[in-house]
């Protein structure tokens, strides 16, 4: 249902992997994949989206937050870690979907079964800023599925400039979009290694809308903006975000 007619029912989904070991695919500070970070992530999700439920799909991770103490969180653990899309691409993982896609699918199916008006996927290292975030992000666009604007000025794995791809750190879909997403993505004949999840949007999920808030992986970040989302934060950027929210680093990462 359109936002504004009544309080829309929002279900948030995310993935989880934390091992205390940095892989070659990681970007941003190691804190953004730590159990301590989950508390900050959860705070921002509640403040920005006010969801009815948050479903986290854990890829059998050795390090977990004490998720039971967090409001509205449901925790689902897969039987093993299915890896990164790049692990599939280079042959380290022999499977169709990486952990990221599995978390999207599990969250979307859960939202559908909960009769949600909207499913919002928020990556585990992605922070949201701004209340009433959903309305700001989609505006008056009439699409069933929304993804992030193309990356501009982002960092690649090798330290260069990231490709200008659509972004998946925040995805938004209404009920019809959820059904379409599930049916289209489950049926694709290729793996995440054959075609990256970002490129898959352009192939399988047309027409789509673009979120009207920056940044995701894009840089630079203007922390004075009222609404934005950010992924792959460096330590300096994390400090900037905390300052923008009038929070202190020691309150969230006292032992770091």
Full-model pTM: 0.94
Q: Beta strands of the chain (E only): which ranges? A: 10-16, 53-58, 73-77, 118-122, 127-129, 145-148, 167-174, 209-210, 215-216, 228-230
Domains along the chain?
A: 10-252 (3.90.550)
The two structure tokens encoding residue 256: 């770091």
pLDDT for residue 85 = 81
SS3 at position 31? helix
Tell which residue, 233, 111, 88, 113, has the closest CA to residue 172: 111
pLDDT in tens, 204-225: 999 999 999 999 999 999 999 9
Q: Count of CB atoms within 10 A of residue 191's CB?
A: 17
What is the average pLDDT value for the chain, to the nearest integer? 92
Tell which residue, 100, 93, 106, has the closest CA to residue 178: 106
Tell which residue, 247, 240, 248, 246, has the closest CA to residue 223: 240
pLDDT above 80 for 39: yes
């Amino acid at each position: 249902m359109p936002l504004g007619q009544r309080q829309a029912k929002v279900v948030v989904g995310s993935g989880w992997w934390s091992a205390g070991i940095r892989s070659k695919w990681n970007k941003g500070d190691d804190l953004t994949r730590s159990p301590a970070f989950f508390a900050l992530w959860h705070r921002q999700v509640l403040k920005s989206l006010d969801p009815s439920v948050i479903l986290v799909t854990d890829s059998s991770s050795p390090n977990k937050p004490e998720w039971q103490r967090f409001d509205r969180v449901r925790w689902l653990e897969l039987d093993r870690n299915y890896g990164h899309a790049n692990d599939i691409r280079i042959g380290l993982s022999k499977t169709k979907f990486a952990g990221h896609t599995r978390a999207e699918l599990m969250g979307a199916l859960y939202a559908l079964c909960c009769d949600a008006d909207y499913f919002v996927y928020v990556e585990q290292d992605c922070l949201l800023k701004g209340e009433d975030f959903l309305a700001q992000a989609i505006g008056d666009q009439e699409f069933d599925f929304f993804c992030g604007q193309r990356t501009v000025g982002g960092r690649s794995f090798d330290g260069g400039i990231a490709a200008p791809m659509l972004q998946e750190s925040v995805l938004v879909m209404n009920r019809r979009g959820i059904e379409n997403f599930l049916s289209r993505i489950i049926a694709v004949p290729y793996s995440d290694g054959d075609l990256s999840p970002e490129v898959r949007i352009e192939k399988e999920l047309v027409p789509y809308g673009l979120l009207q808030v920056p940044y995701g992986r894009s840089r630079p970040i203007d922390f004075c903006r009222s609404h934005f989302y950010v992924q792959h934060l460096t330590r300096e950027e994390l400090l900037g975000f905390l300052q923008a929210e009038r929070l202190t680093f020691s309150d969230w990462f006292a032992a770091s």
